[in-house]
Amino acid sequence: MIYLDSAATTFRKPQAVRSAVLRAMQTMSSPGRGGYPSARAAEETMFRCRSLAAEMFGVPDAERVVFTTCATHGLNIAIKSLVPPGGRAIVSGFEHNAVTRPLHALGAETVVAASPLFDDGACVHAFANALRRGADAVICTAASNVFGYALPVAEIARLCRRAGVPLIVDASQSAGILPLDMSALGAAFVAMPGHKGLYGPQGTGLLLCGSEAQPLLEGGTGSESLNQEMPAFLPDRLEAGTHNMPGIAGLEAGLRFVKNTTPERIARHERALIRRASEGLAHLGGVTAYAAEEPMRQLGVLSFTVRGREPEELAEELARRGVAVRAGYHCAPLAHRSAGTLEQGTVRVSVSAFEQAADIDGFLRTMRGILAK
């Protein structure tokens, strides 16, 4: 199989991640629930993972790194901590439903700072205009999960600091690929999944907390058991219930892989593959590939359409020929509205550190065969 759906989850994981998951299942119980060896092993692993994430992402206090089940979980905590029911939030024109649906559930006024695809100047200008009326929070994706567009988050963060409006960053498609320093951004929260660019297992995520947070869940934490309110301190306040120790152990190994490989090297590799794919698609009749003219504006994600062909139909044909891609709206209708692809969506190709030029070439050969047919 040629796997080109890493924007959904990185299917190929480092061997160290698989080994760590198995080892945790064999040696770890619940952290904070006992002083015996398997509980201690879990505590030590959790501490190492939390500390490593704090080091990598510029979080001054490791206790402000909270384990979640996914980025959606973290975004819900962040949004519901800052935006009251009926409040006002500003979002980019490329947000995922993990942002827009919680805002809708809150009955919030959602102001879209709309801008064209790959246009940094227009994006910053749109946020500056929207911020003139103030807001309870700004929520911005660091990179579009549909088009790979790396938004100008540093400039948007500067606008938010100047306006005194807290910023939530959705780093789902950028964590592990783009450098991230939460302290430098001054963000209130940064949410990220473990199973994409951090190469951990599904069911893992991180929420970096620069602001006070309200829990979504109440329950046991292994601390302050006589208190019927959730602890006031992090991370316990947001980590009710038993931790996913196989997932956290795998996530620690994934973080170490990213740190040792370096995000810069991973980004360079992914950009080269996406450029190869976009240039190859440009030679196929009837294909429109949504590629940035400036490669640094795009990560390892590329969307395309084919004249007269439905994206889902094309993806199914690719799957029958052994190529895994994703088609449709990718849970991000705002992004399609911004790019003008809302009518039918796109086919999305996305890569990781483990895909190679041969995978892209195989995909392009398969596309030529499908279109010739």
pLDDT tens-digit readout, 178-196: 999 999 999 999 999 999 9
Averaged pLDDT for residues 205-226: 94
pLDDT of amino acid 51: 98
Query: Edge-to-edge, what's the strand order for the sheet holding 326-328?
Result: 287-290, 301-306, 346-350, 326-328
pLDDT greater than 90 at residue 33: no
Q: Could you report the per-residue pLDDT of 34-74, keeping only the tens digit for each? A: 889 999 999 999 999 999 999 999 999 999 999 999 999 99
Amino acid symbol at 46: M
Lowest mean pLDDT among 186-200, 211-225, 276-290: 211-225
pLDDT greater than 90 at residue 9: yes
| Strand-strand pairing, 2-3 and 88-92 | unpaired
Averaged pLDDT for residues 201-224: 95
pLDDT band at residue 353 under the 50/70/90 scheme = very high
pLDDT greater than 90 at residue 373: no
Count of beta carbons in the 10 Å neighbourhood of residue 281: 21
> What average pLDDT is seen over the chain?
97
Amino acid symbol at 23: R
Strands (E), the chain: 2-3, 65-68, 88-92, 109-113, 137-141, 167-170, 189-193, 205-209, 287-290, 301-306, 323-324, 326-328, 346-350
DSSP code per residue over 115-161: --TT-HHHHHHHHHHHHTT--SEEEEESB-TTT-BB--HHHHHHHHH
pLDDT of amino acid 224: 86
Structure tokens at 3: 């796997």
pLDDT band at residue 365 under the 50/70/90 scheme = very high
Averaged pLDDT for residues 71-89: 98
pLDDT of amino acid 342: 97
Averaged pLDDT for residues 281-292: 96
pLDDT band at residue 271 under the 50/70/90 scheme = very high
Averaged pLDDT for residues 108-134: 98
Residues 6+ apart with CB under 8 A from 217: 240, 241
How many residues are recorded in the chain? 373
Percentage of the chain exceeding pLDDT 90: 97
Averaged pLDDT for residues 361-372: 97
